[in-house]
Amino acid sequence: MIPHLKLITKQILSPSVLLKEDKKANQYVIIDHPQVNAAFALHGGHLIHFKVNKQQPLIWTSPIAIYNDQKAIRGGVPICWPWFGIASSDLGKNLPSHGFARISKWSIADINEQITGVILTLILNANHETKKIWPFDFKLTLKATLTDRLKLELITENTGKIPFTYQGALHSYINISNVSNIKVMGLNQKSFNKLTDDFNTKKGNLLIEQAIDSIYEKAPDTIILKDLDFKRNININNTGNNAEVVWNPWIDGAQECVDMHDDGYQTMICIESAVLAPRGQLVEPSSRHIFSTKLLGTSLT
Ligand code: TA6
């Protein structure tokens, strides 16, 4: 799956699910099921591979991604939480971009293997380290349903006594044949272009012909990514979110990333299910909020 990691098996968790470790003792859950192959790094609770049997991988991960316990992995589905982008200045200085969930160590809560695939549940609880930078009690759960489709649900529970507001994203890097062969249909017409600081209202399909970093108001219905060379549509359904973020760094952006080849931008596009400012999401004590993304590849022939 990720050959250069040279993983060693530590434990059989269920018939198709192994716990493996790399030479730096970072742990991975590897799923090799007749219907689906997938891999998660427990660092970040980060999906780094997803492929349905007889299909192209649905998720892109950089072949030169850096795997250590400090940095977010380039590609897959980073979990941005409890903020998105740069942290608000009230929280402090030098805080990690896109929150701390993607650079924290998660634990396995449950594995449910079935004929159709595997449901894996990972958790991250508030702890001494998280409290230093975000003073709230929480339980964050990622429920990953890995079948002929990929469904990721992120459940934020407030386990403390004071309300909090969070932002987040399931920052999916989708694997495409080439950025010039795709179009994205079904996004909301209203968006904010972070590269030019402009609000836009635009009808029609999105073609990627230059760098894009845009926040779309939540799509009214299914988003469809049509990939002509892979001869597939990817249907994307998001729930509980208030926005979708579309990102492709193009060549200049890829060159700035140490963990991405210069031409890496050609075979990925991020279409993210996100909960963003200005509202974010308020979670009262003893309450929870869920947002999700579901990706289903269907053949065009
Ligand atoms: O989701 C888009 C974005 O926030 C971009 O602004 C871009 O920087 C990207 O995420 C990647 O961020 P990262 O911190 O993972 O390098």
| Stronger pLDDT, 50 or 278, i.e. the higher one | 50
Q: Exactly one of 171, 217, 244, 256 is catalytic; name it.
A: 171
Residue 98 CA to ligand 1 center (angstroms) comes to: 8
**What does each C-alpha distance from 4 to 66, 71, 155 come to in angstroms?**
11, 18, 32
As a whole number of angstroms, the distance between CA 254 and CA 263 comes to 7
Residues making up the chain, counted from first to last: 301
Residue 80 CA to ligand 1 center (angstroms) comes to: 10
Instruction: Please confirm, yes or no, whether 43 is among the known catalytic residues.
Output: no
Q: Which domain holds residue 146?
A: 3-299
> What is the C-alpha end-to-end distance of the chain, expressed in Å?
27
Q: Which two tokens stand for residue 211?
A: 């760098």
Confidence grade of residue 90 (pLDDT, cut at 50, 70, 90): confident
As a whole number of angstroms, the distance between CA 147 and CA 38 comes to 10
* Nearest ligand 1 atom to alpha carbon 274: 1
In DSSP terms, 174 is beta-bridged to: 59, 269
As a whole number of angstroms, the distance between CA 114 and CA 109 comes to 17
The C-alpha torsion from 75 through 76 and 82 to 85, rounded to 10°, is 20
Mean pLDDT of 280-301: 96
The C-alpha torsion from 279 through 101 and 170 to 260, rounded to 10°, is 120
Mean pLDDT of 220-243: 97
Mean pLDDT of 42-57: 97
As a whole number of angstroms, the distance between CA 100 and CA 274 comes to 16
Residue with CA nearest ligand 1 atom 9: 247
Residue 291 CA to ligand 1 center (angstroms) comes to: 19
pLDDT of 122: 98
As a whole number of angstroms, the distance between CA 228 and CA 225 comes to 10
Give the CATH number of the domain where residue 51 resides.
Answer: 2.70.98.10
* 3-class DSSP assignment, residue 223: strand
Judged against a pLDDT cut of 90, whether residue 147 lies above it is answered with: yes
* 62, 79, 171, 244, best to mutate for ligand 1 pocket (most atoms within 8 Å of CB): 171
Q: Which two tokens stand for residue 196?
A: 């030019």
Please state whether the peptide bond connecting residue 135 to the residue before it is cis, i.e. omega within 30 degrees of 0. no
Q: What is the pLDDT of residues 233-242, one digit of tens each?
A: 999 999 999 9
* Nearest ligand 1 atom to alpha carbon 97: 14
Indicate the average pLDDT of the chain: 96
Place of tokens 């990929």: 150
Judged against a pLDDT cut of 80, whether residue 5 lies above it is answered with: yes
pLDDT of 16: 98
Instruction: Please confirm, yes or no, whether 4 is among the known catalytic residues.
Output: no
From 47, 45, 29, select the one nearest 174 (Cα to Cα).
47
Q: Which two tokens stand for residue 254?
A: 């890829």
Mean pLDDT of 214-230: 97
Residue 85 CA to ligand 1 center (angstroms) comes to: 7
Name residues contacting ligand 1 (CB within 6 A).
Answer: 72, 85, 97-98, 171, 213, 245, 247, 270, 272
Residue 258 CA to ligand 1 center (angstroms) comes to: 13
Q: Exactly one of 153, 157, 244, 272 is catalytic; name it.
A: 272
As a whole number of angstroms, the distance between CA 40 and CA 47 comes to 4
Amino acid at 238: N
pLDDT of 155: 99
* 3-class DSSP assignment, residue 9: strand
* Nearest ligand 1 atom to alpha carbon 247: 2
* Nearest ligand 1 atom to alpha carbon 272: 1
Q: What angle do CA 258, 95, 45 make, to 5 degrees?
A: 65
Judged against a pLDDT cut of 80, whether residue 26 lies above it is answered with: yes
As a whole number of angstroms, the distance between CA 221 and CA 194 comes to 23
Radius of gyration of the chain (CA): 18
Mean pLDDT of 69-85: 96
Looking at beta carbons, which pairs linking 137-140 to residues 24 or more positions away fall under 8 Å?
137/161, 138/82, 138/164, 138/283, 140/79, 140/81, 140/101
Residue with CA nearest ligand 1 atom 6: 213
As a whole number of angstroms, the distance between CA 284 and CA 281 comes to 10
Q: What is the number of structural domains in the chain? A: 1
